Amino acid sequence: MKKYSWIAAAMTVCVWVALAQRPKQVDDNALKSAAKEGDEWLTYGRDYGETHYSPLKQIDVSNVKRLGLAWSWETESPSGGRVEGTPLFSNGILYGSLAWDVLFAVDARTGKMKWRWDPEIPRQHISQICCGPVNRGVALYKGKVYAGLLDGRLVALDQQTGKLVWEVQTLEDPGAIITGAVRVVKGKVIVGNSGAEQAVRGHFSAYDAETGKMAWRFYTVPGDPSKPFEHPEMAMAAKTWTGEWWKMGGGGTPWDAMAYDPDADILYVGTGNGGPWSHVYRSPGGGDNLFLASVVAVKPETGKMVWYFQETPGDDWDFTSVQPMILADMAINGRQRKVLMHAPKNGFFYVLDRITGEFISGDKYAKRVTWAKGLDSKGRPIEAKGNRAALDQAVIISPGPGGAHNWQPMSYSPLTGLVYIPGQESSYTYRLASAFTYNRGTRNMGMQGGLGPRLPNGQTAPPPPEPPAATPAREPEGAETQPQATGGFLVAWDPKTEKERWRLTGAGGLNGGGGTLATAGNLLFHGPVAYNAETGEKLWETDLGGTNVTPISYSLDGKQYVTLFARNYPNNRLFTFVLDGNQPIPPVPAENTAK
């Protein structure tokens, strides 16, 4: 009996060892638990709440000055586009995306490439499309890597080999593309479309993660009212439009922000601007134009709407609401609330009840906001007089179409209770085109100047000249009392009081762009710079050569790492830092520094 007991014990140990060595699978439980566990970075915002917060604290305010380079990887990202993706980390491997939808896997211990997959997108595909051949990230689920591509395909690759498992075309409009990171919720891959400048019709959809079969689609603007509406929400939305908007698509493309509450089982999606930009051509009789510039909450299994909140009714300024959002639980005025926090382009910070969609509070997070005087008790903007362009009158508006906050993720630290927003202040002259004709599949902004067409190499061509306006552009009423624009900024925002705790500004931008990362070490990373998250004191900085992208943090072999992309083509690299790292930072070749 003793012999057999020994054999059984030995077999049990072998099973334990085998299970310990088996790679952990990214499944529903892993994604739900991501908020509590800090070792890996499994989804775009690290957790379903999109907090961009790491609970790791091996690197903290007392030792962050010891950060040094562990390794870097030269990505050889294709020409013509920035790298904007946030990488993911699982089982010792980093996964991510480059320009032109090139996907990769890299060994996080050595910085050596494991595999690389190029979908070979035709370069002429973005000849007319905003805003370059970018991709903001991938998703992981049950042994596969998922990504949306510029040509509209949703693809699933084998996580170990990078081989294509399945692909499906998701787009209907010739001017639409996909640039945002996809998410996986309850076995479904959620993907939106981009291209409101082409006046396409916005939608987001759910596809079965195993087979690629579409489960449901939610359109963000109504189609032709003479035909049956695809879902009941479109009949309601159509009442807020006028004219023949459907012939020009309408816009509303949900090209970035998503979040998910697994307890409430609600998926939140931000929607984009109107197409064309001005309602004069899009919806000449006015109207709120639902669901432009809104947060839409749906059930992830059916796509049925739970609630919506429109942040910029009747958008005229490219004020998208696709900027990253954050879910958190906090006490506000003595009451525990489940909130959704959002800092869209329009310059106002919103705190919503994420279960009901109720407006809790909101205020300006940008100093200069001239298009609206504030928000009313229900969160609707109080528009400034003279804030909309007419055929005979151009207007100068702050913020401009780049927004006070764009695609760069903000982060939330439960340690400090603050949201860290990377933004910018600017203005733009909105001047309607003297004549406008809709052309399917090309840019249809209805504006003079501004964004020219995209060339095959991804660069922007100069816009065609327009005759001078009969009257000079003016600013809305009250603009003269607003502070002057400061350029780039980084603000620590208290969502409970709707007040800033601290702010850093820089006229030429701040830290080379990119989003923020908050950690339990009381640190805030923005590009290759670390601040005291409580005070804003700069504690560590290194020069990576510009154009930095959102950092992530994870633990490997008992050490905490910080990884981010930096530099443009042809020198884009993935940099990884660790305490007491001693590798030299590769110099930017002198002949390429200006590119």
Q: Which residues are catalytic?
A: 318
Q: List strand residue ranges (DSSP E) for 123-238, in order.
A: 139-141, 144-148, 153-158, 164-169, 183-185, 188-192, 203-208, 214-219
Q: How far apart are CA 197 and CA 444, in angstroms?
A: 6
- Classify strands 67-74 and 348-353 as parallel, antiparallel or unpaired: unpaired
3-state secondary structure labels for all residues of 485-531: CCCEEEEEEECCCCEEEEEEEECCCCCCCCCEEEECCCEEEECCEEE
Q: How far apart are CA 151 and CA 87, in angstroms?
A: 21
In the block, residue with structure tokens 């001693």: 582
- Classify strands 139-141 and 93-97 as parallel, antiparallel or unpaired: unpaired
Q: List strand residue ranges (DSSP E) for 12-163, in order.
A: 53-54, 67-74, 88-90, 93-97, 103-107, 113-117, 139-141, 144-148, 153-158
Burial class (CB in 10 A: 0-12, 13-18, 19+), 467: exposed
In the block, residue with structure tokens 């969502």: 495
**Helix/strand/coil for 132:** coil
Backbone angles phi, psi at 351, to 5 degrees: -120, 115
Nearest to 238 by CA among 306, 199, 290: 290
Q: How far apart are CA 556 and CA 567, in angstroms?
A: 25
Q: Is 449 left (phi over 0), alpha (psi -120 to 50) or beta?
A: left
> CB of 432 within 8 A of CB of 390?
yes
Nearest to 401 by CA among 293, 243, 256, 550: 293
Q: How far apart are CA 178 and CA 101, in angstroms?
A: 10
User: CB neighbours (10 Å) of residue 482?
Assistant: 18
Nearest to 154 by CA among 106, 193, 115, 126: 193
Q: What is the DSSP secondary structure assignment for residue 26, as one 8-state letter?
A: -
Positive or negative torsion for Cα 586, 589, 594, 595 = negative
> CB of 315 within 8 A of CB of 377?
no
